[in-house]
Amino acid sequence: MVGSGPIPVPVLDPPATPETRPIRAPLVMIVGDSFTVGSGPVRQWESYAAQAARELGWQLVTAGARGTGFVNPGRVRRTFQTSFTDELSWRPVPDLLIVSGGHNDRTAPGKVHQAAKRLLGVVRSRWPQTRVVVVGPIWMGRAPRWAYGVRDAIAVAAGEEGAIFLDPLGRAWGRGAILGDGVHPTFQGHARLARWLVTALREHGAESEG
């Protein structure tokens, strides 16, 4: 009889178990300036954000550009809000969003406050369940007096919009932390920034650890 042999049974992969099921890494996004996207010999994947992501097991998406800020569009002619809209807002909802900057916003603190509050309001409207952390201006050396006014304006905006504010201003980062330009961090400086960020996030329960 034709076809009288046993019917082959397809071999199916076993169902995933808790031991074999892939673990989803927390999706974290960050928007910022040259401290965040890298500068000089330090590339984006070596920045403090990338180093923190590796330690905390994040899937990191980085946005922004050198010379930009909440108000200052820099040479690329886009602010943090533009970077958020163009690079991040259309992506899947993240577990955590970090907005880091203010170093380039040498302008009236009131303008910085308005811009920061506007951006954070857009984020909250777009991603109401996403935890938001704001990192104030970073100075590897001694910060100018105006930076403190900008820092305070950003902190107020963060508080008004329900975001966690982290303040790196006025900290001593130690020898060998600044590049020859006197502004940007060396790889070692980024490592120290990463250590500070990880510690600060853990203190606030905002690390989104995998």
What is the pLDDT at residue 65? 95
Cα within 13 Å of Cα(54), Cβ side: 10
Rounded to an integer, the average pLDDT of 41-49 is: 89
Higher pLDDT, 19 or 116: 116
pLDDT reading at 5 higher than 80: no
Tell me the pLDDT tens digit for each residue of 81-92. Answer: 999 999 999 999
pLDDT reading at 20 higher than 90: no
What is the pLDDT at residue 10? 56
pLDDT reading at 11 higher than 80: no
Tell me the pLDDT tens digit for each residue of 136-178. Answer: 999 999 999 999 999 999 999 999 999 999 999 989 999 999 9
pLDDT reading at 38 higher than 90: no
Sheet of 59-64: strand order equals: 59-64, 27-32, 96-100, 131-135, 164-166
pLDDT reading at 100 higher than 90: yes
Rounded to an integer, the average pLDDT of 10-23 is: 57
* Cα(123)–Cα(126) distance, integer angstroms: 5
Tell me the pLDDT tens digit for each residue of 189-203. Answer: 999 999 999 999 999
Environment class of residue 167 by beta-carbon count within 10 Å: exposed (0-12), middle (13-18) or buried (19+)?
middle
What is the pLDDT at residue 17? 56
pLDDT reading at 122 higher than 60: yes
**What residue has token string 């199916």?**
12
